[in-house]
Amino acid sequence: MIRNETEYKQTVERVTQETQSLSDRRKHLKQSSLNPEQIKRVMDPLKSFHLQLCEEVESYDRLKHGEFEELNNLRGLGHLLISLRIAQGVSQRELASRLEVHESQVSRDERNEYFGITIERANKILEALKVQR
């Protein structure tokens, strides 16, 4: 999951590079002695990774526009908190400031998708994001 603008920009750049790389790889493989089935076996994992990157970019774009999935169970709470922050256009730095913690704490929490977060802490984050309950 892309969690901030830096990761977003890096992923967009990677998608661009991967698109060219896939094209070059396919051309190279077609020139080799591999048959179409062998080429497909080589290309499928590469295309799968590329599609995953594209989906992450699209997901981040949707979040930035306020489109995110509803919470079905508490296991998705961390993902929802990150989604809310992104949808509101709040940076990790700004959230850290509002919570009066260091930015690295927010980054670490989000990297772990707030694993083990308490209800009290989740409420503080929701309040910092000014989410109406």
Q: 72 pLDDT band (50/70/90 cuts)? A: low
Does 60 score more than 80 pLDDT? yes
d(C-alpha 62, C-alpha 68), whole Å = 7
Residues 81 and 48 in one domain: no
Q: 73 pLDDT band (50/70/90 cuts)? A: low
Which residue has tokens 């908190």?
81
Does 132 score more than 80 pLDDT? no
pLDDT digits (tens, 9 = 90+) for 79-119: 899 999 999 999 999 999 999 999 999 999 999 999 999 99
Residues 80 and 59 in one domain: no
Residues 80 and 107 in one domain: yes
Residues 87 and 108 in one domain: yes
Residues 10 and 59 in one domain: yes
Quick one: pLDDT at residue 66? 84
d(C-alpha 8, C-alpha 12), whole Å = 6
Residues 78 and 56 in one domain: no
Residue 69 in domain: no
Task: Report the chain's mean pLDDT, rounded to a whole number.
Answer: 91
Does 8 score more than 70 pLDDT? yes
The total domain count for the chain is 2
Residues 27 and 55 in one domain: yes
What beta strand segments (E) does the chain contain?
none
Q: Supply the range of the domain harboring residue 78.
A: 74-128
Residues 17 and 60 in one domain: yes
Residues making up the chain, counted from first to last: 133
Residues 13 and 57 in one domain: yes
What mean pLDDT do residues 9-22 have?
Answer: 95
Residue 133 in domain: no
Residues 51 and 18 in one domain: yes
Residues 44 and 22 in one domain: yes
CATH, residue 117:
1.10.260
What mean pLDDT do residues 51-73 have?
Answer: 86
